[in-house]
Structures are given as structure tokens and as C-alpha cells.
Amino acid sequence: MTRRIALTGTPGTGKSTVARSLSEKHEVVEVGELARRLRCARPTSAGVTVDLDRLVRSLRRNPSRFRAEVVVGHLAHLLPIQDVVVLRCRPEEIDRRLRSARTGASRDRKENVLAETIGVITWEALARRRTVFEVDTSDRSPDSVAREVDRWAGGPRLPRWGHIDWLRDPTVTEHLMDWVD
């Protein structure tokens, strides 16, 4: 891998797990840790709050301030990194993963599931004119996803997005309709 990539996706898509696999071959940093290193974060009871505007300015002023090849996090696609891998996952699987991890409040889980359903992360990256590569992690091992990311990152970085459309899947619609009162 010669250029930096952003590994991103909604919570529950497997970013941290895939990043652990990638860290065997590449230097990986999480957005929050990067923000701490560059003094663009403040501690909170839940971890850190990233000052995204300040972090972006810092990275643009001096991109050599960090050497990581892979920047991981649900905000990574908002950083000045051209190549973006968006991990995607079936919305009902994200719901299951977040429930089993007891991550966030019910309202937050629903927002994450809805964001994944409509592909918010992909569209945010595309709006910033990034080269986007989507990977479905629903039924795959983290190692197999990491190998696919590594192959893409090591070769010509051709965009590949739009092939994942959860709204066309009737089981996704059914899952979302269960939330309606």
C-alpha cells in the first residue's frame, strides 16, 4: 500500500475488526487517536470528542504529521484522504451486532441502521469527490474483508460503489417497518 486510505462505515460494519487484521501488514490509526496526537480532540466521559474542522486543517497544513497507511473510523471519510473504503453491512445485521455489543441507546442504534440503509457514508464520501470502494461485510470474515481491502489498496484504485442497495431488499424493508408504531 503506497497511499493512505480511509476505512469507514456506520457503527457495526466491522471497521475496528477489519483494521486489526490490516494492522498485521500496515500502520493503522483510529481517527480519535489521530485527533489526540494532533491535539484536535477533547476528553469526554465516553472517550474523546474530535474537533473535525481543526483536525482537517491540521492534516491539510502538514500531511506528513502522521504516517499511518490506514485511518479508521466513522469520520475517516471526512478527512483529506482521497481513497475511501466504505464497509457496508445488512441493516438487520448491524442492528443485531449493536444490540449484542450493547452499543448506544436504542435511538442511536436506529439512526445507525437507517444511515446504513440509505448509504449515508458512501454519499458523504462521494460528495467530497473521494475514490470510493464499498465492501459488504455481512457474511464475511474480517480477514477476508481485510484481504480484499489490501488488494484494492495495493493496485489501481478504481471506484466501486452503488452495487449495495439495501432498499431493494424486502427483508430490510420488513425490518424497518417493524419499528413503525
Phi/psi for 161 (5° steps) reads -150, 165
How far is it, in rounded angstroms, from Cα 82 to Cα 96?
A: 32
Choose among 162, 160, 140: nearest CA to 93: 140
For 167, the domain range is 5-177
How far is it, in rounded angstroms, from Cα 30 to Cα 162?
A: 26
CB 179 within 8 A of CB 106: no
How far is it, in rounded angstroms, from Cα 120 to Cα 24?
A: 29
pLDDT at 103 over 90: no
Choose among 97, 181, 178: nearest CA to 137: 97
CB 85 within 8 A of CB 158: no
- Residue with more model confidence, 127 or 180: 127
pTM attached to this predicted model: 0.91
Query: pLDDT > 90: what percent of the chain?
Result: 65
Position 157 scores a pLDDT of: 84
Handedness of CA 99, 76, 8, 146 (dihedral sign): negative
Q: Other C-beta atoms within 10 Å of 81: how many?
A: 22
Phi/psi for 11 (5° steps) reads -55, 135
Domain harbouring 126, CATH code:
3.40.50.300
| Over residues 81-89, mean pLDDT | 96
Q: What is the DSSP letter of 111?
A: H
Q: What is the pLDDT of residues 57-79, one digit of tens each?
A: 999 988 777 778 999 999 999 99
Domain count, the chain: 1
Q: What is the pLDDT of residues 134-176, one digit of tens each?
A: 999 999 999 999 999 999 988 888 899 999 999 888 887 777 7
Q: What is the pLDDT of residues 8-29, one digit of tens each?
A: 999 999 999 999 999 999 999 9
